[in-house]
Each structure stands twice: as structure tokens, then as C-alpha cells.
Amino acid sequence: RPDGSDSSIQCDLRVINLEPGNFPSFAALSYVWGIATATEGHFVSCGVYTLRVTPNCHSALWHLRERLGGFTIWIDALCINQKDEEEKMYQISMMGDIYSKAETMYVWLG
């Protein structure tokens, strides 16, 4: 929970081909990133990796998990390597395709 009682978010990362017929049904999340500080402890466990996310991203995921249970979702902060500028530029150029191929689009304003 955002209040800390059960705030753990766990996921698996998969590489998906966006060619027609080759990708699973998925949702995409658009949200306000907001400002994260080094002292905030909002994390998502993705397999063996633990990734820091903004409080707003964490809140969106927590609320979606509470409502939907398990689901497949694309989130830029987790699906794009934010430390690799070349990959980031490539992935950002694909965001229109990603959003348009999502079965469901969630918008989280906080």
C-alpha cells in the first residue's frame, strides 16, 4: 500500500515483438513522473533486479494491482533502460506504436 503496509510490487520483464499476432494482450500506463528524490524508497522488483520508481509510478502500480490482480503492462520507467541514452531514444520513437497496440490504456495523474 502507499501507506507502507504492503507496498511491494513484483513483476517479470519480457521482450515482446510488436509485429501483428506476435504479442500478448497488454496495457500501457501513462502517468505524471513527478520528482523523485534520493531519499524516497519506492521500488519495483523485476526478477533479480530492483528498480527505483517515482512515487506516482509506484502508486499507479499499487492501485492497478489492487484492482486487477496480475496483468501485463508496459511502463516506460521499467521497460526503457533510463541510463542508456541510445536505447532510450530508440524506445521513445516506438512509444506511438506501443500505446496504439495496447489493449487498454491507463492514465494516472496521482
pLDDT in tens, 21-39: 777 889 999 988 776 555 6
**What is the reported pTM?**
0.79
Return the H-helix or E-strand segment holding 100: helix 85-101
Domain count, the chain: 1
pLDDT of residue 40: 65
Residue given cell 501513462 in the structure block: 30
**Can you give the residue range of the structural domain that contains 67?**
24-108
CB 36 within 8 A of CB 52: yes
Contacts of 6 (CB under 8 A, 6+ apart): none
Question: What is the average pLDDT score of the chain?
Answer: 84
Q: Please compute the mean of the pLDDT values over residues 54-68 and round it to a whole number.
A: 91
Decide if pLDDT at 1 tops 60. Answer: no
Write phi, then psi, for 29 (nearest 5 degrees).
Answer: -120, 125
Cell numbers that stand for 109 in this block:
495523474
82 occurs within a structural domain: yes
Question: What does the block give as the cell for 98?
Answer: 506501443
